[in-house]
Amino acid sequence: MTDFKDRQKGEETKFAMDQETAFKVAARRNRLLGEWAAEKMGLTHEETDAYKKAVVQADFEEAGDEDVIRKLVGDLTQAGCDIDEATVRAQVEEKMIEAKRQFMSEG
């Protein structure tokens, strides 16, 4: 019985760590996306820092990536950038890979 409880506790710990890692990688991806979009919009350094935080915050609106994509597309369109949703979605994938790579190289 102790072996089962130990194994269960180990699985719960692993799940919690996996969730925390996924959260950290997604937040890093969102900061990278914010930096990319800010560059396209021609924001200053200070504006870029604030915008990266706003993109991270946007991810808390709903589950999944649609809230972030909606924010980026809306902001880029409002800024007069000629960037469509497909390009933003491609950047989401690219920045996720980059965020994972960065996270793994730190650990």
Please report, in angstroms and rounded to a whole number, the separation of the first and last CA atoms in the chain.
Answer: 34
94 burial via Cβ count (<10 Å: 0-12, 13-18, 19+): middle
Q: What is the pLDDT of residue 36?
A: 98
Gap between the Cα atoms of 87 and 43, Å rounded = 19
The answer as to whether 87 is a domain residue is yes
Q: What is the pLDDT of residue 100?
A: 96
The answer as to whether 1 is a domain residue is no
What's the pTM value of the predicted model, to 2 decimals?
0.86
What lies within 8 Å, CB to CB, of 29 at 6+ separation is 92, 95, 96, 98, 99
**Domain hosting residue 49, numbered range:** 26-106
Residue 95, CB-side half-sphere exposure with 13 Å CA sphere: 22
The answer as to whether 90 is a domain residue is yes
The answer as to whether 86 is a domain residue is yes
CA distances from 67 to 7, 16, 55, 91 (A): 37, 24, 9, 15
Helix/strand number for the chain, H first, E second: 4, 0
Please determine, for residue 98, whether its predicted confidence score (pLDDT) is greater than 80.
yes
Reported as a single tens digit per residue, the pLDDT across 2-16 is 777 777 777 777 777
pLDDT averaged over the chain?
A: 92
Indicate the number of domains in the chain. 1
The answer as to whether 6 is a domain residue is no
- CATH number, domain of 95, equals 1.10.790.20
